Amino acid sequence: MSFQDLAGRVLCAGFPSSERLPEEIQSRLDRDALAGIILFKRNLGTLTGTAQLIDDANRYARKLGKSSPLIAIDQEGGRVARLGAPFLKLPPMRALGERNDVALTERCGRVLGAQLQQLGITLDFAPVMDIDTNPANPVIGDRSFGRTPEVVTAHALAFARGLASAGVASCAKHFPGHGDTDLDSHFALPRIAHERARLDAVELAPFRACRGVIPSIMTAHVLFDALDKDVPATLSKRVITGLLREELGYDGVIVSDDLEMKAVAAHWGIADSAVRAIEAGCDLLLVCSSLTDLAIAEEALASRAQKNEGFRARLEEAAGRVQSLRDRYPVKAMRGPDWENAIATKESLTLETLLGTRPGN
């Protein structure tokens, strides 16, 4: 395997608006040199068109009997939901937390997961495990299940169990906690000044419960003074390897948030951020829109691996962990002749029936 192909196996790529895979993405997938793709609204048209796109992404895997790439999406509910009807329209996670029916939350995850699996999506970047402790937070808010660790932990784990029961991987986000920031890391670099005791009691509490339940965790592009004053969590070996991997004992896949976000891209650039994230202990790196940035990240990782044996070993470890996730959550092997109606039938469990209320109540 070339260094470039090895580097590609830790990258999950987004791409510009299209219902078809760009040639660059298809080429990487066809030689098994890309971990997977992430889909946004800009990539989604008809169900048939999306299914064809996913089938194209799996062309190499199906031909040679290899593991399918990760097919990922952000489908939380509320304002972060890429797929519309006939997929289950969930409210913001806050509504489920306030209702505080853990069985209902798990059922929501199971119904949604069954629909995602039927389409061919294998990884949902949900649930949010951030605790909403700052009313001025511009990015989390009602995406969080609640304002206490107990509520967030119970409902996030339930939602993840629901997804898993349908064959879809979940991803807890955003470690070590994005709930008390007053800046959006898409546009700036937030900082949290809490002492370690506060982080242990609040922000870190839900993530301690992830081991063995949630197969992947996404990092936060946030500076934590008590953990590492110099670099955000995504790029910090103290935070990712020292805290999450060693102290909390988490053994699943660690996913970087999008490396194109200003919190890291504006300070370290794509190339340096990619290398630093792998060195810190991340396994899967998101590059969510630019094919140019994807190529830059790939080249930076390959170049570093070629020059540094220790980095090459870390890259191989990361790729192996991602491969295990791909093996565990394959794309649905075959759609039945009535697969579109199967998705719509699952939608007969509407939000109203799930909640046990009538529309308008």
The structure tokens listed for 109 are 């995850």
pLDDT in tens, 133-163: 998 888 899 999 999 999 999 999 999 999 9
**Contact at 8 Å (CB) between 118 and 67?**
no
Angle, nearest 10°, between helix axes 102-119 and 47-57? Answer: 70
Cα–Cα distance measured from residue 287 to residue 235, given in angstroms and rounded to the nearest whole number: 15
- Return the pLDDT at 154: 98
Q: What count of other Cβ atoms lies within 10 Å of the Cβ of residue 161?
A: 18
Reported confidence tier of residue 182, pLDDT bands at 50, 70, 90:
confident
Mean pLDDT of 13-34: 92
Mean pLDDT of 254-270: 96
Instruction: List CB contacts of 34: < 8 A, sequence separation 6 or more.
Output: 8, 9, 11, 12, 13, 25, 28, 69
Q: Which 3 state secondary structure label does DSSP give 12?
A: strand
Q: Which residues are marked as active site?
A: 186, 257
- Helix H or strand E encompassing 179: none
- Helix H or strand E encompassing 96: helix 93-99
Of 154, 148, 155, 152, the closest CA to residue 133 belongs to 148
DSSP code, position 265: H
Q: What is the pTM of this model?
A: 0.94
Residue type, 249: G
The pair phi, psi for residue 224, each rounded to 5°, is -120, 110
Cis check: omega of the bond before 16, within 30 degrees of 0: no
Q: Residue 307: how many CA atoms within 13 Å on its side-chain side?
A: 7
pLDDT in tens, 227-261: 999 999 999 999 999 999 999 999 999 999 999 99
pLDDT in tens, 209-219: 999 999 999 99
- Return the pLDDT at 358: 38
Reported confidence tier of residue 361, pLDDT bands at 50, 70, 90:
very low
State in Å, rounded, how far the first CA of the chain is from the last one: 59
Cα–Cα distance measured from residue 3 to residue 221, given in angstroms and rounded to the nearest whole number: 27
**Contact at 8 Å (CB) between 6 and 315?**
yes
286-302 CB burial, b ≥16 within 10 A, e <16:
bbbbbbebbbbbbbbbb
Cα–Cα distance measured from residue 344 to residue 31, given in angstroms and rounded to the nearest whole number: 34
Structural domains of the chain sorted by starting position, each given as residue range(s) with its CATH number in brackets: 3-354 (3.20.20.300)
**Contact at 8 Å (CB) between 288 and 40?**
yes
Q: Name the residue with higher pLDDT: 353 or 240.
A: 240
Question: pLDDT at residue 349 above 70?
Answer: no
**Contact at 8 Å (CB) between 210 and 159?**
no
Cα–Cα distance measured from residue 43 to residue 50, given in angstroms and rounded to the nearest whole number: 8
Per the DSSP assignment, residues forming a β-bridge with 37 are: 13, 71
Q: Which 3 state secondary structure label does DSSP give 348?
A: coil
Of 36, 28, 126, 30, the closest CA to residue 323 belongs to 36
Q: Tell me what percent of the residues of the chain surpass a pLDDT of 90.
A: 81
pLDDT in tens, 81-98: 999 888 988 999 999 999
pLDDT in tens, 29-67: 999 999 999 999 999 988 989 999 999 999 988 887 888
Q: Which 3 state secondary structure label does DSSP give 13?
A: strand
- Return the pLDDT at 333: 55
Q: Which 3 state secondary structure label does DSSP give 212?
A: coil
The full DSSP string for 39-79 is: E-GGG---HHHHHHHHHHHTHHHHHHTPPPPEEEE-EEETT
Question: pLDDT at residue 352 above 50?
Answer: yes
Instruction: List CB contacts of 316: < 8 A, sequence separation 6 or more.
Output: 6
Q: Which 3 state secondary structure label does DSSP give 3?
A: helix
- Return the pLDDT at 360: 36
Reported confidence tier of residue 310, pLDDT bands at 50, 70, 90:
very high
Q: Residue 335: how many CA atoms within 13 Å on its side-chain side?
A: 22
Mean pLDDT of the chain: 92
